[in-house]
Amino acid sequence: MIVTLTPNPSIDRAVFIDALHRGEVHRAGGGRIDPGGKGVNVSRALAAQSAATTAVLPIGGPEGHLLEELLDDAGVDHCSVPVSGTVRMNISVLEPDGTTTKLNEPGPELSPAEVDALLTATLERAAGAAWVVGCGSLPPGAPTELYAVLVARVRERGVRVAVDSSGAPFAAAVAARPSLIKPNHEELAELVGHALPRLSDVRAAAHELVADGIEIVAVSLGGDGALLVTADEVVHARATISAPLSTVGAGDCMLAGLLHGLSSGQSAPDALSTGVLWGAAAVTLPGSRVPSPDDLRGIPVEMTRTPDLTRTLAT
């Protein structure tokens, strides 16, 4: 069982247009809505592969009801914590060449009691879980230390904990030493405070974090795949997708595949390959649709324990 906590979930609306022109009226060729928020996407990706998962999330307002309906339709088990504000709606504008412009709302203001209720619900479900994972931005009112507190409390219960976030909440969580983190290239650079143009720079930054006590650092690198670093291993995996459709939620699918692999007994390199496969499959799908078992077929993943560290990264 993998328990996800999404303090700031969303309804994701994807709008398809030919080209984005600032300040002009666009007639969209179509659109879709999906349940959203990073932990929600991790749970959706797991549920789509029939893996056990529960998503813990705040629910409020009409968008909250819609989110619950969408999760029910997708067969995603969820634990809704009622809040007085309204779940946000995030918009992705998708152009035919794969260019994605995202507009993310801040989310509802949570009261201290609502934040406590979210943590309590997550800890209740953590018992017996293989992993608890805290994902995404924090809504207004949630303390910067929310993920750091989650890490400490989950670890006390003997359960492994992962975090995927950004900015100050991510830095605070990293200081609390979760078992696993999954920054993307930009988030890792932000965390260590300097640019990481080559794979060797990413490896060095990840090594520093491992030396500080994080067991697994998995860095997603967009079209360059992902690099996983532990105290004993450096592994790179990559899948080539010739015409990516939408990268929204790809990192969440990658994290879901990685955690699923680890909790199913795969070695870290094999689990990384599973993660990269799920992430690559996600970019072949519209909006933030998550891959079905069929979508994973026929995508070859190259994995190596001796990556070319001189590789310059595109992302």
Residue 176 site contact among ligand ADP, ligand FBP, none (CB < 5 to 8 Å, cut-off depends on kind): none
| Residue position matching structure tokens 């979508």 | 295
Angle between helices 146-156 and 112-126 (to 10 degrees): 30
Residue whose CB is less far from ligand ADP, 85 or 222: 222
Residue 137 site contact among ligand FBP, ligand ADP, none (CB < 5 to 8 Å, cut-off depends on kind): ligand FBP
Q: Are 295 and 178 in contact (CB under 8 A)?
A: no
Q: Are 143 and 115 in contact (CB under 8 A)?
A: yes
Report in angstroms the alpha-carbon separations of 281 from 34, 146, 207, 219. Answer: 17, 31, 28, 18
Q: Are 274 and 257 in contact (CB under 8 A)?
A: yes
Residue whose CB is less far from ligand FBP, 104 or 266: 104
Q: Which of 12, 34, 224, 252 is catalytic?
A: 252
Beta bridge partners of 304: 236
Residue whose CB is less far from ligand ADP, 116 or 302: 302
Using a 10 angstrom Cβ sphere, with 0-12 exposed, 13-18 middle and 19 or more buried, the burial of residue 25 is: exposed
Residue 283 site contact among ligand ADP, ligand FBP, none (CB < 5 to 8 Å, cut-off depends on kind): ligand ADP
Q: How are beta strands 100-103 and 160-164 bridged, if at all?
A: unpaired
The Cα 77–Cα 66 span in angstroms is 15
Binding mask 168-207 for ligand ADP (x = CB under 6 A): ----------------x-----------------------
Residue 244 site contact among ligand FBP, ligand ADP, none (CB < 5 to 8 Å, cut-off depends on kind): ligand ADP
Under 8 Å CB-to-CB from 14, ≥6 apart: which residues? 31, 32, 33, 34, 91, 92, 94, 246, 248, 286, 287, 288
User: DSSP of 4-23, one letter per residue?
Assistant: EE-SS-EEEEEEE-S---TT
Residues 7-66 that bind ligand ADP (CB under 6 A): none
Residue whose CB is less far from ligand FBP, 63 or 201: 63
- 165 touching ligand ADP, by CB under 6 A: no
Active site residue 201: no
Find the binder of ligand ADP among 42, 59, 173, 250 (CB under 6 A): 250
- Positions in the binding site for ligand FBP (CB under 6 A): 8, 10, 12, 36-38, 41, 90, 104, 136-137, 248-252, 288
Closest CA to 143 of 181, 105, 112: 112
> Minimal distance in Å, beta carbon 171 to ligand FBP?
15
Residue whose CB is less far from ligand ADP, 79 or 296: 296
Binding mask 210-249 for ligand ADP (x = CB under 6 A): ----------xxxx-xx------------x-x--x--x--
- Contact residues toward ligand ADP (CB under 6 A) are 184, 220-223, 225-226, 239, 241, 244, 247, 250-251, 254, 276, 279-280, 283
Q: Give the residue numbers annotated as catalytic, written as ranges.
A: 252
